[in-house]
Amino acid sequence: MNRASIKLWAAVHKWTSLVCTIFLLMLCITGLPLIFHDEIDHLTETQPVFGMPGIGSSSTSAGLLSLDDMLARALANRPGEVPLYMAFDNDQPSMTITTGPRPDSPGAEMTIQSFDRSTGKLIGKAAESDGGVMHVLLKLHTDMFLGLPGMLFLGAMGVAFVAALVSGVVLYAPFMRKLDFGTLRTRRSARTKWLDYHNLLGIVGLAWMLVVGLTGVINAFAVPIEQLWKADELASMTRAYAGREPLDPSRYGSLDTAMAAARAELPDNNPQFIAFPGGTFSSNHHYAVFFQGDTPLTERLLTPALIDAETGRFTDARQMPWYYQALSLSRPLHFGDYGGLPLKLLWAVLTLFTVHVLGTGLYLWLAKSRTTAPARVRPASPVAEPAE
C-alpha cells in the first residue's frame, strides 16, 4: 500500500470514528443492561403463578379459555377501545392483548394487558410508555426518544462505525507488520501502551463488532422495512380488497374461527401474535396471524396468514421477503438472544471490549492533537501507527 492510500484510509478511519464515537459509547452503555433484559425483568418483577404451568399456545387448546373469551375480558377492562394485537407465549399459558382508541392508534395510546389464559385472570396492565428504567434505556438505544428520525440517525452512526472498522482493518496490517500479534509495549509512553491495547482488543473483537454494527443498522431501518413489506407484499396479498372501506370493529368475527383457518394452512407452526385490522402489520380487513417455526432458527422467522376478519375465511399466507427475514434475524442477534445466558455473557464482555476500543481511540486522537506533529509524515490514525 502506497503512502497516498494509507493517508486516504487514515482520513476515512479518523473522521468516521470521530463522528460516531460518542453515540456508539451511548449505545454500548445502554445496550449492556438490555442484553440481560429478561434476567433483570425476572429479578425485579413479581412472577405470576399460572393455573396450568407449561401449557402455551403451541399446545392444544384443551384447558385454555377461547380467544374470543380472552378478547371480551380485555375489552371489558377498556370500554370504548378496540383490539390491536394479541400475542402468545409458547412456553406458558400467558398472553397479552393490546388495545387502543382506534385501529391505527399510535404506541403512546396503547394499553397492554397480560392474562393467564388457563384461568382468564388479569396478571398485569400497563400503557406502552410505562416501562420503567428498561423502557427508558431501550428508547435511548433505539431512537433517543426522537422516533423515526432518531432511528435513522443512529442507523447512519452505525454505517459510520462499520466504515471505521473496515478502514481500521486496512490500516492494521501495514502499521503492525513489525510487531508480533498481541504485543503490548507497556514500557513505552502511555500513548503507545494504550495504542497497543486499542489495536489488540479492536482486532480480537472485530468480527463481533461488525456483526453488532451491521445488525444495529438493519434494526435502525425497521420502520422503512415494515412499510415496504406492507406496501409491497401485504398489498399483493390483499389486492382483492383494494378500494373497500375499512372494516368497522363492530363487524369483527370470531378469533377462534380465524385461528382454526390459519392453523389449517400452517399446521406445523406456532402462532406468535395476531394483528387486528387497521394496524401496521395487517390490512383494513384481515386478522393477520403471524406464525413462527419450532426450531431455534425458524422461531425467529415469521409467516403471516391473512384471515378475513368478518367471514373467518382464509385469504393468503406467504413467507416474509428476504429483507424482512434479515430484520427478524438481526433483532435477537444484536442482543445475543440466541444462546441463553452464556452467549449473553459473551456479548457483555465484547461490549466492554468495544467501550475500551472507543474510549482509547478518542484518547489517542486527543493526545495526538495536543502534541506537535513529528518531522516525518505519519498518518493521523487513532487505531494504529507504525511500529518503532
**In this predicted structure, what is the pLDDT of residue 385?**
46
Report d(CA 142, CA 147) in Å as an integer.
Answer: 9
**pLDDT at site 129:** 60
Using one digit for the tens of pLDDT, what is the confidence trace for 258-269? 999 999 999 888
Classify 182 in phi/psi space as left (phi over 0), alpha (psi -120 to 50) or beta.
left
The pLDDT > 70 percentage for the chain reads: 89
| Beta strand extents in the chain (DSSP E only) | 82-88, 94-100, 111-116, 121-127, 270-275, 286-292, 302-308, 314-317
CA distance 304 to 316: 8
C-alpha–C-alpha distance, residues 165 and 25, integer Å = 15
Residue 113 confidence (pLDDT) above 70: yes
pLDDT at 380: 40
Q: Does residue 206 sit in helix, strand or coil?
A: helix
Is the separation of the CB atoms in 347 and 335 below 8 Å? yes
Q: Lowest-pLDDT range, 219-228, 361-370, 376-385?
A: 376-385
Which tens digits make up the pLDDT trace of 146-181?
999 999 999 999 999 999 999 988 887 777 777 777
- Are 171 and 6 a contacting pair, CB within 8 Å? yes
CA neighbor of 33 nearest in space, from 154, 139, 137: 137
Angle in degrees, 0-180, between the axes of helices 132-142 and 148-175, rounded to the nearest 10: 70
Which among 124, 58, 140 has a CA at the least distance from the CA of 92? 58
CB atoms inside a 10 Å sphere around CB 253: 17
**Arithmetic mean of pLDDT over the chain:** 86
pLDDT digits (tens, 9 = 90+) for 216-251: 999 999 999 999 999 999 999 999 999 899 999 999
Q: How far apart are CA 95 and CA 74, in angstroms?
A: 11
Q: What does the alpha-carbon distance between residue 216 and residue 375 come to, in Å, rounded to a whole number?
A: 41
Tell me the C-alpha distance between 191 and 381, whole Å. Answer: 13
Percentages helix, strand, coil for the chain (3-state, rounded to 5) are 55, 15, 35
pLDDT at 30 over 90: yes
Q: Which residues contact 112 (CB under 8 A, 6 or more apart)?
A: 96, 97, 98, 125, 126, 127, 128
Residue at 338: amino acid letter:
Y
The pLDDT of residue 122 is 93
Mean pLDDT of 326-342: 87
How far apart are the C-alpha atoms of 151 and 27, rounded to whole Å?
12
Number of CB atoms found within 10 A of residue 88's CB: 22
**For position 157, what pLDDT does the model report?**
97
